[in-house]
Chain A
């Protein structure tokens, strides 16, 4: 994909954790360029630094050194409020544990990013409906997360991630808590979203077969270092 514009540019990004005397390099000088519309899978063994790298690119964490440029803005240099705004407007996130708020109904969960982004009330209902429609949960609006299956919860979380129409979707092991059928359904949804909305997707996963089937590109991390990075098909 030589002509697509550059969206995320990680330059020698490191993240260290200090535990007393010892320093743990969770992410060690990783450089990565991600173009708009890509579906990138981050693979690696447990503790290799996948979640840490994803968190930094999603604006939840800051690198100890290096720069992460998204549309020419260096996340490492943003103020806390600007970073929150980046998460609100540019980024959608799904997690391994679905992270729906248990005390809210599905539609209230999906409405939450709209509240935070101060979207007008008149627009909210239609956007919530649209997002739930996309993940096939329009009939379950009034249900609480505890009344939904794991797969449904993850689809609800996906609707919540999409409702603000973000440019980038970050997913940290979205299929980790699901059986293979439900996992495949989620990945089909992701693929469909990538194709229809032109969204950039960065997904952490353990499952190489799934990554090979759905992602355009696979990056492999080991001990915090990027050991291979290659396009699929």
Chain B
């Protein structure tokens, strides 16, 4: 029989026993729906977690320090083996070199300094951090009072709320006001007599080509007050209270602790950085990039191990969800087997007639097979839709709950196209396997006996 005739007959047979077949199909659909809902939850939560983690900048970043540094901020001591390699200064050359490595998307230095902040006659000493423009999308500024920096070079500041409370009783009233930073600038030794005199007074004797350290002031407009601590991700290790755009912070040329070291070592010409953050394309690129950077002679640190164990957790999570979903589908396929076996008993006579009219065993087998496949197809499509609905309802419920807690909503359930397609495919395959036994039993039926059957 031709495929078109076969499918016509199969659909017609399914239509004729609408109630029983749609109940069976519904069984498949419920199985597929629970599979899809569970996996979509797994995928959704995983996407959510990895999105958050990626955006936080913790897991796709390698923190680079020079082995020469006296100390990094809470940096683990470099391993002994690495210490044997030639150590390198973390200067602008290094920055260029690092940004050229493959899979590296962004390299920025850590500009962090402790300084005096003045506002309305008050003076507070605090830690200041430069934020790269990419921190805009890190998620750390969600729900912030005010706005993010208007441009990467804006002379603006964002305050951490605890610090803002020190400056004003109403932290939100600070937005739009100006504050003043007092800091020490590192400048190449100029011919400015005043500066030279100052340096002499500070350092004892100035050498030609040396550096000077000059006190400066900078006025910044406060644009935002944030409750979270964005420096925890972006800068690496937290604790800063005032944030500036990275470029603005760089242009201040604030003296870094190792400028003093550079000054003393007599090689003060090139400014170097305390630490750099190297962002890579995806967390899985971290190990390779980290190894390359170590080869170049820098000390590195990354949080990759944390993502690894997270992935293990999610894999196990997915496995269990899939297991329960498959259980549901197994029950559904038992339903298919039952329906088709019952159909054989009921349709014995029909099978006998078909055979008397010249149907081959294969025709009969294909017919039953096609009916099982069609139930799988319809059940699969319906089940994916149902599963998607369940997932959406969960997302909807969670979002309402989160809004009540004054938190932004999240998408916890996500049905990617591959999940939808493979769920339908899975439903068809399971249905065909379920149809295997009934179909071959129907095909083997002896036509004479089948025709005698009333």
Docked complex: B36-79 residues within 8 A CB-CB of A? none
Do B350 and A116 touch (CB < 8 A)? no
**Is A60's beta carbon under 8 Å from chain B?**
yes
Docked complex: A50-91 residues within 8 A CB-CB of B? 55, 58, 60-61, 80-81, 84-89, 91
Describe B's contact surface by its main secondary structure: helix
Q: Which of B356, B361, B451 meets A80, CB within 8 Å?
A: B361
**Is A127's beta carbon under 8 Å from chain B?**
no
Docked complex: A76-125 residues within 8 A CB-CB of B? 80-81, 84-89, 91, 93, 95, 99, 101, 103-104, 112-113, 115-118
Question: Which residues of chain B are within 8 angstroms of A116 by Cβ–Cβ distance?
Answer: 1, 354, 357-359, 363
Query: Are A99 and B353 CB-contacts (below 8 A) given A60-B448, A61-B448, A115-B9?
Result: yes
- A99 to B448 Cα, complex, angstroms: 13
Question: Which residues of chain A are within 8 angstroms of B448 by Cβ–Cβ distance?
Answer: 55, 60-61
Do A85 and B5 touch (CB < 8 A)? no
**Is A155's beta carbon under 8 Å from chain B?**
no
- A200 to B17 Cα, complex, angstroms: 39
Residue-by-residue, is A179-205 near B (CB-CB < 8 Å gives 1, otherwise 0)?
A: 000000000000000000000000000
Do A87 and B1 touch (CB < 8 A)? no
**Is B362's beta carbon under 8 Å from chain A?**
yes
**Is B239's beta carbon under 8 Å from chain A?**
no
Do A113 and B353 touch (CB < 8 A)? no
Residue-by-residue, is B326-360 near A (CB-CB < 8 Å gives 1, otherwise 0)?
A: 00000000000000000000000110011111111
Chain B's closest residue to A172 (CB) is B451
Do A101 and B350 touch (CB < 8 A)? yes
Chain B's closest residue to A161 (CB) is B357
Name the distance in Å between A86's Cβ and chain B's nearest Cβ. 8
Name the distance in Å between B39's Cβ and chain A's nearest Cβ. 39
Query: Are A84 and B359 CB-contacts (below 8 A) given A95-B451, A116-B1, A118-B2?
Result: yes
- A61 to B448 Cα, complex, angstroms: 7
Q: Which of A81, A103, A104, A112 meets B357, CB within 8 Å?
A: A112
Q: Which of A55, A61, A104, A113 meets B358, CB within 8 Å?
A: A113
Name the distance in Å between A181's Cβ and chain B's nearest Cβ. 26
Do B356 and A60 touch (CB < 8 A)? yes
Question: Which residues of chain A are within 8 angstroms of B354 by Cβ–Cβ distance?
Answer: 112, 116
Question: Which residues of chain B are within 8 angstroms of A103 by Cβ–Cβ distance?
Answer: 12-13, 16
**Is A225's beta carbon under 8 Å from chain B?**
no
Assign chain A's interface to a size class. 20 to 34
- A178 to B5 Cα, complex, angstroms: 33
- A85 to B361 Cα, complex, angstroms: 11
Do B357 and A113 touch (CB < 8 A)? yes
**Is B447's beta carbon under 8 Å from chain A?**
yes
Do B358 and A80 touch (CB < 8 A)? no
Chain B's closest residue to A90 (CB) is B358
Name the distance in Å between A8's Cβ and chain B's nearest Cβ. 18
Residue-by-residue, is B420-454 near A (CB-CB < 8 Å gives 1, otherwise 0)?
A: 00000000000000000000000000111001000
Name the distance in Å between B273's Cβ and chain A's nearest Cβ. 79
Question: Which residues of chain B are within 8 angstroms of A101 by Cβ–Cβ distance?
Answer: 350, 353
Residue-by-residue, is A115-141 near B (CB-CB < 8 Å gives 1, otherwise 0)?
A: 111100000000000000000000000
- A160 to B363 Cα, complex, angstroms: 19
Do A84 and B358 touch (CB < 8 A)? yes
- A112 to B360 Cα, complex, angstroms: 13
Do A115 and B1 touch (CB < 8 A)? yes
- A113 to B5 Cα, complex, angstroms: 11
What are 25 contact pairs spanning A and B, CB under 8 A?
A55-B448, A60-B355, A61-B446, A61-B447, A81-B360, A81-B361, A85-B358, A87-B356, A87-B357, A88-B358, A89-B358, A93-B357, A99-B353, A101-B353, A103-B16, A104-B12, A115-B1, A115-B9, A116-B354, A116-B357, A116-B358, A116-B363, A118-B5, A160-B357, A164-B358
Q: Show the binding face of B for A, using Cβ within 8 Å.
A: 1-2, 5, 9, 12-13, 16, 349-350, 353-363, 446-448, 451
Q: Show the binding face of A for B, using Cβ within 8 Å.
A: 55, 58, 60-61, 80-81, 84-89, 91, 93, 95, 99, 101, 103-104, 112-113, 115-118, 160, 164
Beyond A84-B361, A164-B358: 10 further Cβ-contacts under 8 Å?
A60-B355, A81-B360, A84-B355, A84-B358, A84-B359, A88-B357, A88-B359, A93-B356, A99-B356, A103-B16
